[in-house]
Structure 1
Amino acid sequence: MNDVRAFAAQALADVALRGASLRDVMERQAPRLADPRDRALLMALVSDGARWWLRFDAAINHLLERPLRDKEPRIHALLVLGLVQLEILRMPDYAAVAATVQAARSLKRPQLAGLVNAVLRRWQREREKHLATLDAQPRTRHAHPGWLAKAIAKDWPAQAEAVMAANNNEPPLMLRANARRVTREALIEQMLAADYEAHPHPWLRDGIVLPHSSDVTRMPGFAQGLFAVQDGAAQIAADLLDACDGQRVLDACAAPGGKACHVLERAKVALTAVEYDPARAERIRQNLDRLGLNANLVIGDAGDPEGWWDGMPFDRIMIDAPCSATGVLRRRPDVRLHRRDTDIAAMAEQQQRILASLWPMLAIGGRLVYVTCSLLRAENESVVQTWLAGQPDAHVVPFELPVGQAAAVGWQVLPGDGDLDGMYYAVLEKR
């Protein structure tokens, strides 16, 4: 089988119906396609399929007399992809329908090819009626689970519609120039010479923006470690940490290592990166090696430092806390399918534990930056406020960013603010 849409249907069924990670599925499926254009189409189909699943899954239920989801999950996913091609990717009707019908045959379900054709043709005939039904509810209008739509509306009532719309937009490709090896200006010149539409981010000093996703491994400078892929919201963390040469720095919950590498590119520090998951820790090592950086990589629990801390205080600590990832749905669309409302309280408890465990390791006069890629107050300002109530030696450092809004403690960038991902930051000093 070498049918991109058939591959995509299998991948989407794994992500949406079996709980698989989009990243893991793509790493497994993409190498099976030799043509980079086929791999790009596969990524577009599966990403948009996951992003819009909650909308078009409901539509398929309305179009079928008997559901296919349980008995024929790949065909159900293929039908969702048919609507994605028509409504999101705006492919020509005849090509999208014909190719999707052929994919049913590639999946060895020729007996269902006629059904696939009939369902997609019915959508075309009854499109306006079905779109009106889908647009009537937040869950299907914005393809967000009901609990999350309510949580966003509760925490950010004035911005809720804009946030959910931003979550469904294609994000730009954002890079971080490796200041150890190249200037941002020189790297942009290389990219422009290779016909990449790259320009400097307006206020992030290492940031480079390209309007569309691309295979970064083919871009000039990737193999030489001249840049890393990192959204601008994540690049802010190194600015707030403000590490200086000679300092001891801890990056807790460090995988995949983007923030740790950024700190090392900025200053000559002794950095310890802690990660609980050995497989994710290996990704930190790979990023360090490609960028030509060195760190003390520790596999351990950031919330239980007794087994790995040497007793020497750190001048800077970054807690990139485990969270719901609700701020990065535009880059990780599968999160909306896998996250549950019951996860949030457990996340907040873990965040409190890590913060309480690491604060004693900070030197007097030192700085701690608490970061999450969440937009939910329960994981952000509420965690920091609760912890501050029992910590008299912690001082909140006020700051402002060019985008986003002040929180009760710290600062919140919402998805789409300045075309960045959603991220929360609090800066604390020990006095």
Structure 2
Amino acid sequence: MTKTNNPRQLAVETLTKIEQGAYSSLQLNQVIQNSQIDERDVNLLTNIVYGVLQHKLTLTAQIKPFIKNPKKVQPWVIELLKTAVYQLEYLNRIPKRAVFNETINIAKHLGHDGIRKMVTGILHQMDRSGLMNPAHIKDPLERLVMEYSVPKWIIEQLIEQVGIDKTTTILASLNQPAKQSVRINTALIDRDTLIDQLTAEGYQVEPSPLAADGLILTGRSANAAKEFKTGELTIQDESAMLPVETMPIKPDQLILDACSAPGGKTTQIAEQLSLQHSGQVVALDLHESRLKQVVKNAKRMHLNDYITTKALDARKLDQVYADETFNQILVDAPCSGLGLMRRKPEIRYEKTSQDIEQLATIQLAILNAIAPKLKVGGQLTYSTCTIIDQENHDVLVAFLAQHPEFKLVPIKLAHVSSASGELRIYPDDFDSDGFFVANLVKTEASAS
């Protein structure tokens, strides 16, 4: 790939690397940092990259009839054609002539004359023949797959669990732009002062309708704010703030964050301990390298005095910790991440139903391992960033069947509550990530 500041070409290059395994958010951030493009072009680049990822199944089906030998076509050419169709179908303000000209020029710039001619021919053939319209698909399930570009197995699971109407509103929400949410570091700054400072810097700021310490920012990238650099705010989805909000954090508590990296919830716990000038959160992760990000975030937010990191598989706690060591335990369990499909659209194409089964098994093993380590009277907070019952509700049912010493307790937060003790946030509820939170209190010692 060649050096360029053309946002459409950068989108093609970014999408090609994502198809080869790169993470969308990391790859896009790297491209933006390494190029010299203005805010308007950053917005177009971001729109095209996420738009193509969100509509991947649909776009792939739409270009398929026009490519005779797809195996002989270079991957970047496929991505180029997807970007062209995305702009034609979903970005109404861009004239067709401009899309054609830009696409043909990129084909010429990245390839040779033969590729330019092929791309030119395909675009004109599309223009003459028209593109597949998902609304014309007769099978209702296939129509949903193509209309919202979500794999059939996920749609089937959602319909079974929440019904067709709720599933349709969830699917419709997934292809909308993700909000930019941040959490106030209340250990360093109060809400009103932070809002005033961000407004003065050119941000439009709104309070989160979901999280008590959440703000929604528009106008600029949140990581460009000086308050991000000084640790007075951190970037975190509103739903992801809820698990720690449900924790009754008190002075001198020793709290375990069993699956901590990259550390958003760890720093949220440490912030509450800092306000009380006592206590410690032990942050576990399988990999030392991932814990470096936890430490980096903690230092940026001036909370590292309240955090201890340890590279350890949470299923092996017996090797290090005695029973009834911790006052509270947070298990933000490894899961498919299907609640993040708006923010990380490639997740929907990567995960399988087999992955769900394996992750549910891992989650239950973690919960079983941490159960004896919680003190009697302590709270276990269990959360996942998914919207599939097999990875949250079903795991919880299995855990409670094996551990009668734990009891679900109601959740009551500033903006949401759950009398049952199981809080579900779907992506369409607040236009945030999908999340599940459950609170359990240990009423007696675990059986040995």
From 366, 376, 384, the counterpart of 1:372: 384
Separation in structure 2 between the aligned mates of residue 154 and residue 404 of structure 1, nearest angstrom: 25
Deviation at 1:310, TM superposition (A): 6.0
Q: 1:350 to 1:419 in 2, by over 3 A?
A: same
Match of 1:11 among 14, 18, 31: 14
Select the residue among 177, 183, 203 that pairs with 1:176.
183
Q: Please report how far the alpha carbon of residue 172 of structure 1 lies from its aligned counterpart in structure 2 after TM superposition.
A: 1.3
Specify the SS of the correspondent of 1:35: coil
Aligned to 1:259: 265
Query: Structure 1 residues 125 and 408 mapped into 2: Cα distance closer, same or farther (>3 Å)?
Result: farther
Report the secondary structure of 2:334's partner residue: coil
User: Cα distance, 1:143 vs. partner?
Assistant: 0.5
Rounded to whole Å, the distance in 2 between the matches of 1:89 and 1:280 is 38
Sort the Cα spacing of 1:109 and 1:276 in 2 relative to 1 into closer, same or farther, 3 A: farther
CA separation in 1, counterparts of 2:415 and 2:172? 18
Greater Cα shift, 350-359 or 123-132:
123-132
Please name the residue that 2:446 is paired with: none
Letter in 2 for 1:12: L
Q: Secondary structure at the match of 2:212?
A: coil
- Among candidates 241, 248, 251, match of residue 235 of structure 1: 241
Structure-2 change in CA distance of 1:35 and 1:388 (3 Å): same
Offset at 1:325? 0.5
After TM superposition, list the pairs within 5 Å mapping 1:46-65 onto structure 2.
Answer: 46-64=49-67
Letter in 2 for 1:84: Y
Match of 1:29 in 2: 31
Conserved? CA contact 2:12–2:80, under 8 Å? yes
Distance change (3 Å), C-alpha of 1:42 and 1:278: farther
Whether the aligned pair in 2 keeps the contact of 1:385 and 1:409 (CA below 8 Å) is no
SS in 2 for 1:243: coil
Provide, for residues 22-63 of structure 1, a one-character-per-residue CA deviation record: whole Å limited to 9, x for no partner. 234335433331224344433332222211111101111023
Gaps of at least 5 residues in structure 2 are 444-448
Aligned to 1:281: 291
2:70 matched to which residue of 1?
68
Change (3 A) 1:202 1:129: closer
Cα deviation per residue 1:312-349 (whole Å; 9 max; x = unaligned)? Answer: 61111100000011111101111112111210100100
Alignment CA distance shift 1:63-1:134 (3 Å) = farther
Question: Displacement, 1:5?
Answer: 2.5
- 5+ unaligned residues in a row in structure 1: which ranges? none
- Whether 1:160 aligns to 2:167 is yes
In the alignment, is the contact (CA less than 8 A) between 1:13 and 1:73 conserved in 2? yes
After the TM superposition, which residues 161-310 of structure 1 pair with which residues of structure 2 at under 5 Å, given as runs? 161-202=168-209, 204-211=211-218, 214-268=220-274, 269-294=279-304, 295-309=307-321
Contact 1:201 1:209 in 2 (8 A): yes
In 2, distance between residues paired with 1:298 and 1:328? 27
How far apart, in 1, do the equivalents of 2:414 and 2:389 lie? 21
CA distance in 1, matches of 2:54, 2:434: 16
Do the aligned residues in 1 keep the contact of 2:135 with 2:143 (CA within 8 Å)? no
1:211 Cα deviation after fit:
4.5
* Secondary structure at the counterpart of residue 389 of structure 1: helix
Q: Is the 8 A contact 2:203 2:218 kept in 1?
A: no
**Aligned partner (choices 342, 358, 362) of residue 354 of structure 2:** 342
Equivalent AA in structure 1 for residue 254 of structure 2? R
Cα deviation for residue 20 of structure 1 reads 3.0
**Structure 1 CA distance for aligned equivalents of residues 153 and 51 of structure 2:** 21
Deviation at 1:138, TM superposition (A): 1.8
Deviation at 1:95, TM superposition (A): 2.0
**Which whole-Å CA distance do the structure 1 matches of 2:128 and 2:95 have between them?**
15
User: Is 2:369 the partner of 1:362?
Assistant: no
User: In the alignment, is residue 383 of structure 1 matched against residue 385 of structure 2?
Assistant: no
**TM (normalized to structure 1)?**
0.92
Q: How does 1:384-423 map to 2 (within 5 A)?
A: 384-400=396-412, 410-423=422-435
Q: Counterpart of 1:138 in structure 2: which amino acid?
A: L
- Aligned 8 A contact 1:404 1:417 in 2: no
> Contact between 1:152 and 1:160, CA under 8 Å: does it hold in 2?
yes
User: How many residues are aligned here?
Assistant: 428
Query: Which residue in 1 is equivalent to 2:89?
Result: 87
After TM superposition, the score normalised by the length of structure 2 is: 0.89
5 Å-filtered alignment, 1:74-113, equals 74-90=76-92, 91-113=94-116
Q: CA deviation at 1:279?
A: 2.8
Q: Tell me which residue corresponds to 1:315.
A: 327
Q: Aligned partners of 1:380 and 1:220: how far apart in 2?
A: 37
